[in-house]
Structure 1
Amino acid sequence: MTLTADDVRAIALSLPDTAEKLAWGQPAFRVAGKIFAALGDDDATVGVKCPVEERAGLIASEPEKFFVREGHDDNYAWLRVRLAALDDVAELTAVLTDSWRQAAPRRLVSAHPELNPPPADG
């Protein structure tokens, strides 16, 4: 199953207090006015929030899934994801929810504990 821009839209808009609005001519998804996801030019990728210090590890571990546009994303806490490389809707949901948590106000994240990741084992 190949994931599509429609899957991104459905998942992003299912998250609390989200809205879709164009940014730079592309569909972007916002929480409390902050962008947490944006579809790429070809609708085959989605940009999501990702701490800069975590990007290199993600890209190195799964370069077929994750990338940055050199020169464009270098100074921003963003990562791009190839939709066709994701395993399934659950993985896309996890990626978008993680990005939503990074952009959402703490009070909103606290109000939705069901969107927090499960505790790590160990």
Structure 2
Amino acid sequence: MVTINDVRAVASPLPRAYEVLVRDRVKFRVGRIVFVALSRDETEMGFAYPKEAREALIASDPGKFHLPVESDMRFHWVRVWLAEIERDELEELVVDAWRMVVPKKVWREYLGA
């Protein structure tokens, strides 16, 4: 199980990423684009994910992954229960979400680091 502190440890050091508090919810952004958001009770995390692949991800483990709320369905977004993932999976989800919102040049520099 991971916590908000684990999410911070992965997301905060990513180039151009920063944390904000919006309506009592912790979110991580690059510019104005949110790539990770935590629920108010910090039990679930929404993250950027390709729309065309989200049904397959959810089908792969419906006890872990679920669709966003109806108002967020238009976005590239999926949610996960934090109690159901381990640190290595969290890192993969957060870094992949961040990769979706940064310029390719930043991603390439990150890989070279």
TM-score by length of 1: 0.84
Which of 92, 97, 100 aligns to 2:98? It is 100
Structure having the larger proportion of residues in helix: 2
The aligned amino acid for 2:92 is A
Once the two structures are TM-superposed, the CA of residue 17 in structure 1 deviates from its matched residue by 2.1
The aligned amino acid for 2:88 is A
Once the two structures are TM-superposed, the CA of residue 114 in structure 1 deviates from its matched residue by 5.0
> Where do 5+ consecutive residues of structure 1 fail to align?
116-122
Instruction: Give the corresponding residue for 2:39.
Output: 40
Cα-to-partner distance string for 1:39-88 (whole Å, 9 max, x where unaligned): 112101111001111110011111111111342322111000111111x2
Cα gap change, 1:70 to 1:47, in 2 (>3 Å): closer
Q: What are the equivalent positions in structure 2 for 1:1-122 lying under 5 Å apart? A: 2-86=1-85, 88-113=86-111
Which one has more relative contact order, counting CA pairs under 8 Å at least 6 apart? 2
Q: How many residues of Structure 1 are paired with residues of Structure 2 in the alignment?
A: 113
- CA RMSD of superposed structures (Å): 1.6
> Secondary structure of the residue that 2:98 maps to in structure 1?
helix
> Where do 5+ consecutive residues of structure 2 fail to align?
none
> Secondary structure of the residue that 1:10 maps to in structure 2?
helix
Q: What percent of counterpart residues are identical? A: 35
Distance in 1 (alpha carbons) for counterparts of 2:100 and 2:40: 23
TM-score by length of 2: 0.90
